[in-house]
Chain A
Amino acid sequence: MKTNDIILQTVTKIVSFIILMFALHIFFAGHNNPGGGFVGGLLTSGAIVLLLLAYDIKTVANSLPIDFKITVAVGLLFAVGTGLGSFLFDVPFLTHAFGELTIPILGELHLNTAVLFDIGVYLAVVGSTMTIIQTIGEGE
């Protein structure tokens, strides 16, 4: 008998967007409030796992055509890249810089290169979590 998952699938469509939005909020709030790359990455993979629970693995792979092993590599590249970038300014490895930038629409922003390192953490966490779950899910 074919099961009827319409309630779960409809709610997943709404709730996964709320989770992704909250993950983004947690990621950017990490400098001054609790949060950061690790929790943001875990929340994002939680949203993708919810999609995997409501739909099957092929539908999710079609709508998100990302190889998560490459995501880990890109994340590590970001982390090492921000570390190596400090050599260009003749300062020790992983020295971070910050400054005030005035951007036309957004106004004055306090930007920090530690965010780039955090993006690396975020991508590595999303990639490794999704690789673990997808390889276990696909295995017979």
Chain B
Amino acid sequence: MNVSEIDEFIGALLILIGGIISVISATGIIRFPDVYTRAHAATKSTTLGVLLSLVGAFIYIWLTENYISVRLMLGIVFVFITAPVSGHLIIRAAYRSKVNMTEDTVEDELKKVLDNQTEVH
């Protein structure tokens, strides 16, 4: 195994792990009971999957072609910043339009806070 094969292996392994994590996240979206747990699966693990794939592509291009791709670095930072925020906004919109939680839910702490706020005003 010479050097370039090791380089290719590192990149390919990261991309493979990213792909596996994306598949796991897709299974989570199908199998979880309500919108909140589904968003939990969709935002966290998909972000990690995409990040690992991008890092794998970045390392592969860096080591094999000796080219540091600034676009991929920017893409990694951008996805890392924006994906959790988009999940937060979707879930907040769902909560405010009173989407029901699954019946296994034990406690809803946000409801008390929001009820108190409306009483004060």
Contact = CB atoms under 8 A, between A and B. Distances in A.
Interface of A: 1, 7-8, 11, 14-15, 18, 22, 25
A11 B85 CA distance: 8
Q: For this complex, into which size category does the number of interface residues on chain B fall? A: 10 to 19
A32 to B, nearest CB: 14
A7 B85 CA distance: 7
Contacts of B77: 18
B96 to A, nearest CB: 8
Interface of B: 71, 74, 77-78, 81-82, 85, 88-89, 114, 117-118, 121
Contacts, number: 23
A140 B118 CA distance: 29
Chain B at the A interface: SS class? helix
Contact of A8 (B78, B89, B118, B121): B89
19 contacts: A1-B117, A1-B118, A1-B121, A7-B85, A7-B88, A7-B89, A8-B85, A8-B89, A11-B82, A11-B85, A14-B81, A15-B81, A15-B82, A18-B74, A18-B77, A18-B78, A18-B81, A22-B71, A22-B74
